[in-house]
Chains A and B, each alone.
Chain A
Amino acid sequence: MAALIYILCALTSGACTVLLLRRYWHSRVRMLFWSALAFLAFALSNVLLFIDLIVLPQWDLTILRSLATSSGILLLLYGLIITTTKP
């Protein structure tokens, strides 16, 4: 059941990635590109969560997961900031 939660989280963030990339392909608005990458990183962190707790419980992937999340956050914040500020 826990596995289901992790998979759903990974799928939802993956879906956001796909939707944002699809829209970016049409409209070329940069913010979408960075947001899409961010959600990809979040999806990765959820996949790593699944691997960490279900597939490879003997290893500790916590730091790797946190790094994936941090990358996602940095990518997202970058996209949000360049959207709302003028160079």
Chain B
Amino acid sequence: MSVIQVNIALTGANIMGFLIAGLFFFRFWRLTHERLFAMFTLAFCVMALERVALLAMGSNHEFTPYVYFLRLAAYGLILVGIIDKNRGPQR
């Protein structure tokens, strides 16, 4: 197997893993109505999306650096969740 194939396989596994984690957090959100879990759900879905975009584009595409904005957005969602958790009425 070439390096590229190994990477594609790993990336595919990671995409699946992110989506499953997102599903867990989605379930936790439905159970507890805790907004933080909603933000984690979205964050992991966006991380999966980012990996899909990277796969679709390949490493030498001109837009590849911009895909990392998606990763930033995912972590931004987590930060928003943390800030929301610490502000406003406690829930």
Knowing A5-B68, A77-B20, say if A13 contacts B7 (CB, 8 Å). Answer: no
How many residue pairs, one in A and one in B, have C-beta atoms under 8 Å apart? 57
Q: Indicate if the CB atoms of B72 and A9 lie closer than 8 Å.
A: yes
| Residues of B in contact, count (CB < 8 Å) | 23
Once the chains bind, are B3 and A60 in contact (CB under 8 Å)?
A: yes
A12 touches B79 (CB 8 A): yes
Which A residues form the contact surface with B (CB < 8 A)? 2, 5-6, 8-9, 12-13, 15-16, 19, 46, 49, 60, 62-63, 66-67, 69-70, 73-74, 76-77, 80, 84
Q: Which residues of B contact A (CB under 8 A)?
A: 3, 6-7, 10-11, 13-14, 17-18, 20-21, 24, 59, 65, 68-69, 71-72, 75-76, 78-79, 82
